[in-house]
Structure 1
């Protein structure tokens, strides 16, 4: 009889550990899914930028350095985004994306500031459409980032709670995920994407 009670306790403990571990995996997958939503919007942004630069190039021939800086920043952001997409719970990958996105936002801000000096560019219908699409995409990125940060917070809190932290330490391999925050003060400013007078 004592053996059956002991066996029952062991089975209950094992099931308890399995339940905690399964929830941890589900939360980790939720983080990955939330990152995928950011990745979709970032990719849309990256796809718009070459068209934006190409349209501006016809009007801003003397601003070659600025246009190249935008393309280089875009390419860096694409590379960082691809690395993060392969493992969205890797804190270093997310930090690299945040840094690359900050550089891209800064380069776009300089492009938009210079574009203000080109009235023909401001009046270009293609440029207006691209700017509108970019503004919509920026809003979608912001919403996706919030959903990702919520998923990261749930995942990280779950790992730290007792007795979940015992299971995490026992199984290992579950580092805290990194929030996707805008650290650069310049990048926190809303990118002005309108040429209205």
Structure 2
């Protein structure tokens, strides 16, 4: 009789621990998804701003067509992108292109003085700052989640419940370099 009680206690203990870890992973994974959504919201704001910026620049910088087309093309690819990884990759490309586009504006004094352009530039800077904070929060959240997935005993339950590591948001190749503008 005593052995049955001990066996039942062990089984109950395992069930409780399993439920605790399942809920922990669900909570952490939902936080990761929420953090990505926060980035996605800011990136969408930036995508919505891109047509206004390019149209404003287009009027002044007619021979910068290649840069403008590249920005619009990357924006369209981002909008149609499937999955976090693809969006992260295209986002890095867009960041570089927008940096190049803003650098181009330095060569056009009339554009730099244009009130619409200045407002768009201000909005873009604000969005870029928010994207930076959202990326940092996302990476912190993913790091906590990944640690839970990798560390014992969590790694055992993560494997049982099929929770996998998430990808950190990293700077793309060349993103740390200053954009080069050629005339």
Normalized against structure 2, the TM-score is what? 0.91
Q: 2:176 aligns with which of 182, 188, 193?
A: 188
Question: What residue in structure 2 maps to residue 175 of structure 1?
Answer: 164
Displacement of 1:64: 1.7
Kindly indicate whether the alpha-carbon contact (under 8 Å) linking 2:21 and 2:154 is maintained by their aligned counterparts in 1. Answer: yes
How far the C-alpha of 1:163 sits from its partner, in A, is 1.1
Q: Which runs of 5+ in 1 are unaligned?
A: 85-92, 192-197
Structure 1: distance between partners of 2:121 and 2:69: 18
Match of 1:104 among 90, 94, 107: 94
CA distance in 2, matches of 1:33, 1:15: 27
CA contact (8 A) 2:93 2:172 kept: no
The aligned counterpart of 2:76 is 75
CA distance in 1, matches of 2:51, 2:61: 14
Q: Which residue of 2 aligns with 1:125?
A: 115
Residues 75-120 of structure 1, C-alpha deviation per residue, up to 9 Å, x if partnerless? 122233xx23xxxxxxxx32x2232112112222222222222111
Alpha carbon RMSD of aligned pairs, Å?
Answer: 1.6
CA-CA distance at 1:62 after TM superposition = 2.2
Residue segments in structure 2 that go unaligned for 5+ positions in a row: none
Q: Does 2:144 correspond to 1:154?
A: yes
1:23 maps to 24
Matches within 5 A, 1:28-67: 28-67=29-68
Separation in structure 2 between the aligned mates of residue 136 and residue 189 of structure 1, nearest angstrom? 21
Cα distance between partner residues in 2 of 1:183 and 1:64: 24
Query: Following the alignment from structure 1 to structure 2, what is the Cα–Cα distance between the partners of residues 51 and 189?
Result: 26
Q: Distance in 1 between matches of 2:73 and 2:62?
A: 17
Whole-angstrom CA distance in 2 between matches of 1:36 and 1:107: 23
User: Within 1, Cα distance between the matches of 2:178 and 2:116?
Assistant: 22
